Structure 1
Amino acid sequence: MIGILWGVVVVLLAFWAIGLALNIVGNLIHIALVLAITIAVYNFFKARDV
């Protein structure tokens, strides 16, 4: 399960970087970045909890 979530984080960060470079989609890219960071932080704390 954690592998899938990290895959989502990587994909969202890649889309954010592409959107930032090409200046497309505007605020949706930043929302995706916030989601990616939230998932990464959640996984970090969940992994330390085990």
Structure 2
Amino acid sequence: MIWTIIGILLLAWLIGFVVDVAGGLIHILLIIALVVFIAKMLRR
């Protein structure tokens, strides 16, 4: 499940660079996803 969320956010982040949609919101969501991913990896 987490990999799906990370993949979708990464895709949205890349599209955001090309189209410049939603400004910094995409980048903030990607950072949140990265923090969640790191937290999950550290808990293992």
Number of residue pairs matched?
44
Aligned-residue identity in percent: 30
The structure having more radius of gyration, on CA atoms, is 1
Stretches of structure 1 lacking an aligned partner (at least 5 in a row): none
The Cα RMSD (Å) is 1.1
List structure 1 segments (4+ residues) > 6 angstroms apart after TM superposition. Answer: none
TM-score, length-scaled by structure 2: 0.78
TM-score, length-scaled by structure 1: 0.72
Stretches of structure 2 lacking an aligned partner (at least 5 in a row): none
